Amino acid sequence: MFDAFALRRELDEYGSPGPPREKQLQMKHLVEVSLPRFQKDLEQEGKQLQSAPDNAPGPPNTPQVQINAAILKGFQIYGGVHCPALAIFADPHALPADAPADSTKRATQVAEDQARTSEQAEAFQVGNPSATVIRIPNASYFVFRSNETEVLREMNAFIAKLP
């Protein structure tokens, strides 16, 4: 959703008048960054939709859903962190309690989670080359709870390196 709203704003900006050099830069960013990122999002969404039943209802149009949509429309993507940063990822996440018993299905679930999470961690590292990125395998979504000792160790090591 973030990429869709960002792309919409970028296309609106591209459609506005401006000097040729600015238009060239906008076009280059659209072709090389924004459109491929959005295409990847659509492909992932398509995979998720394939596994959803055809008769699954959409989300209700409640005031909270409308508020969330308004918030998403107003967000901004920042161009990287310009200070020391530590990111800790559960990569892959621990399997949930209701994970399938079949070992093949479990392995598939782990592989899908690791692919998705690794992609996020790598994107963060590429976007923030000076960041320290830590991956803790088989941690829960709340990695600071499931792996408190490791998180504290990594935080202390990161803080010790700060100027």
Task: Tell me: pLDDT of 86 over 80.
Answer: yes
- Considering only residues 75 and 101, tell me which one the structure prediction assigns the higher pLDDT: 101
Q: Are 136 and 89 in contact (CB under 8 A)?
A: yes
The pLDDT of 9-36, averaged and rounded, is 91
Task: Tell me: pLDDT of 115 over 80.
Answer: yes
Task: Kindly report whether the global pTM for this prediction surpasses the value 0.85.
Answer: no
**Which helix (H) or strand (E) covers residue 89, if one does?**
strand 86-90
Instruction: Band the pLDDT of 21: cuts 50, 70, 90.
Output: very high
3-state secondary structure at position 156: helix
Q: Are 139 and 148 in contact (CB under 8 A)?
A: no
The pLDDT of 30-54, averaged and rounded, is 84
Neighbour-count burial for 70-108, b at 16+ CB within 10 Å, e otherwise: eeeeeeeeeeeeeeeebebbbbbbbeeeeeeeeeeeeee
